[in-house]
Amino acid sequence: MKNKDINKLMLDLQLFAANSGVEASNANVQTTTLNDTTTPNNLSPTMKTFYKTALLENARTEHYFNQFGRKQPLPKNGGKKVEWRKFDTFSKAMTPLTEGVTPDGNHLNMTAIEKEISQYGDYTTISDRLQLEAVDPVITAATEEHGAQAGDTLDTITRNEVNSGTNVIYGGGKTSRAALTTADVLTPTMVNQAVTMLKKMKAPKINGDYVAIIHPSVAYDLRESAGWIDVHKYAQPGEIYNGEIGKLHGCRFVEDTNQQVVVVSGEAVYMTTFIGKDAYGIIDPTAESMEVLVKQLGSAGAADPLSQRSTVGWKASHAAKILYQERIVRAETKSFFSTVDDAN
């Protein structure tokens, strides 16, 4: 898979760490601070790996925007900001050389772009009765659900940054989001317009094509168009991006249920994001990596005197930043489903 490296997250399983505070962010669970000062780590290495893998694999399935971000390492003790560096392009060298005369040459100009990282996470409290009486393996199920939640959360952070780009086109040739009507859907002509804009702005391609991230409701309108090629007709399984569904006008489409939708005057307006290579950056943390945290029954000591509660949760640091505005074009349109879809 081409997104294998992009989706690779370093995971550290921290279990029953002394003085590790946990704050509830789920309204359906009891808020409790669990301080493990007495219970040893008695989870086997096999189970540690099992829970770690469950969280990671489910997080990976939710990566759509993050698979195309330019990763920047965040080394240990590297501070709370991440920095990407980009180099200015040279203008054409149109002045003829003079025989025997060394020209002045050029200068390599670099721009540094910074973004402060933030930490995200959630956990679920599981009662002793639920663990004893439930038919399904509760902790495993909770780990898998939190993995999906983690991947979805981090990808949404990137989505919101990327969709703040300044190059925007509207369906039906309209000039604003408010002017869109239900007839203003994404068309092959509009796709061609977005791709042409990227070409004119000299945005480099990603593995030979541009990429667009599209909502399923918009994909419905587009997939019936002449010229659409389903992904299985041009790519081998190992060459398909996560969520990839097809290709049109030299642009590969990745379908994402979490692509941004806003509601204007009671009807949904959809973002379709066309991108070139390294258009935006994401952090690739090493010290502050994604973690899955499992706390056993009784690990809270006096805070859980009857050993009634265990917890399963995760936390991760993330940040995303547009690096090249000229490598992103956002199309805003309506869809056949505009009257029934909600904002996300």
Quick one: average pLDDT of 4-26? 36
Same domain, 184 and 252: yes
Same domain, 214 and 244: yes
Q: Find all residues with CB under 8 Å of 326, minimum gap 6, and list them.
A: 167, 201, 202, 203
Q: Which of 23-37, 109-123, 288-302 has the lowest mean pLDDT?
A: 23-37
102 or 61, greater pLDDT: 102
Q: State the CATH number of the domain containing residue 247.
A: 3.30.1930
The model's confidence at residue 45, banded by pLDDT at 50, 70 and 90, is: low
Please list the residues that pair with 255 across neighbouring strands. Answer: 214
**Is a pLDDT exceeding 60 seen at residue 338?**
yes
Q: If you ran DSSP here, which 8-state letter would residue 270 be given? A: E
Same domain, 183 and 303: no
In this structure, which amino acid lies at residue 196?
T
Residues 89-135 pLDDT 10s: 777 788 898 898 988 888 777 788 888 888 899 998 888 765 665 54
Does 249 fall in a domain? yes
- With 0.85 as the threshold, say if the pTM is over it: no
pLDDT of residue 249: 96
297 or 214, greater pLDDT: 214
**Is a pLDDT exceeding 60 seen at residue 36?**
no
User: How is the chain split among helix, strand and coil, in percent rounded to 5?
Assistant: 25, 30, 45
**Is a pLDDT exceeding 50 seen at residue 6?**
no
Which two tokens mark 56? 């990671």
Same domain, 73 and 131: yes
The model's confidence at residue 42, banded by pLDDT at 50, 70 and 90, is: very low
Same domain, 62 and 130: yes
Most confident of 39-48, 95-104, 188-197: 188-197
Q: State the CATH number of the domain containing residue 53.
A: 3.30.2400
CA pair distance 232, 92, nearest whole angstrom:
41
Find the domain containing 175 and state its range.
167-280+323-333
Same domain, 68 and 125: yes
254: closest CA among 270, 268, 272?
272
* Average pLDDT value over all residues in the chain: 81
pLDDT of residue 209: 97
Same domain, 43 and 173: no
In this structure, which amino acid lies at residue 40?
P
Quick one: average pLDDT of 333-339? 96
